[in-house]
Amino acid sequence: MLNKNVLIGTVGYHLLSNHSVGPILLPQIRSIPWDGSVTVEEMNWGPIAIVQYFQSLKKPFDRVIFLVAIERPERNIGDISVFQWMGYLPFEKQIQACIGDAATGVISIENLLVIGEHFKIWPEEVFLVDVEPGAEQSGEHLTAEVDAKIPEILRILKDLEHKPTTSLASKKLRGDTLFDKSL
């Protein structure tokens, strides 16, 4: 993976305890001695601005890794899943809903993935390191369950920087299956 251009981005609101795992860990992630060409960014500045950023790059990213916290069924607080983004777009009405949400300032990895896919900015290798946050609650700090997982989260990010795609055991995530079609 050396000599590849890698982005590690955190996505999530601030001050929402476990839902803020990315913003909370951002200083630690930035302090890691990354190999190769790694950029670490907070990616909360809106999907359209992020699309423009990607479109302006002189050297595109070869791999993008997002650290997120999304409530998912049948996981315990602090459980970590690694997803590989496979692309595909949802139906047109859902794409427009994602763009509408983005225009109003909603921070959502789903919106970012779909809008990025719509504008064809993603490289072939996009991964989500997804930490189960549990129920949304306000707060500046992580709960003990998620705090205990910090070393594992950082190790996974470091592993994703290096490993070839074929060796990554991850779940697949597709844009055409992210949303309820009853919109």
Condensed to tens digits (0 to 9), the pLDDT of residues 132-149 reads 999 999 999 999 999 999
* Mean of per-residue pLDDT scores for the chain: 92
Q: Residue 183's pLDDT is what?
A: 45
- 19-176: CATH architecture: 3-Layer(aba) Sandwich (3.40)
- Is the pLDDT confidence value at 182 over 70? no
pLDDT band at residue 2 using 50, 70 and 90 as cut-offs: low
Band (119; pLDDT cuts 50, 70, 90): very high
Structure confidence at residue 25 as a pLDDT band (50, 70, 90): very high
Confidence of residue 150 (pLDDT cuts 50, 70, 90): very high
The CA distance from 160 to 123, in Å, is 15
Number of H helices, E strands in the chain: 6, 6
- Which of 161, 168, 130 lies closest to 29, judged by CA? 161
The helix/strand/coil state of 149 is coil
Contact 59, 7 (CB under 8 A): no
Give the three-state DSSP class for 132: coil
pLDDT at 81 over 80: yes
pTM, to two decimals = 0.93
* Residue 181, pLDDT score: 58
Spell out a b/e string for 116-125, using b for 16 or more CB atoms within 10 Å of the CB, else e: bbbeebbbeb
pLDDT at 1 (0 to 100)? 45
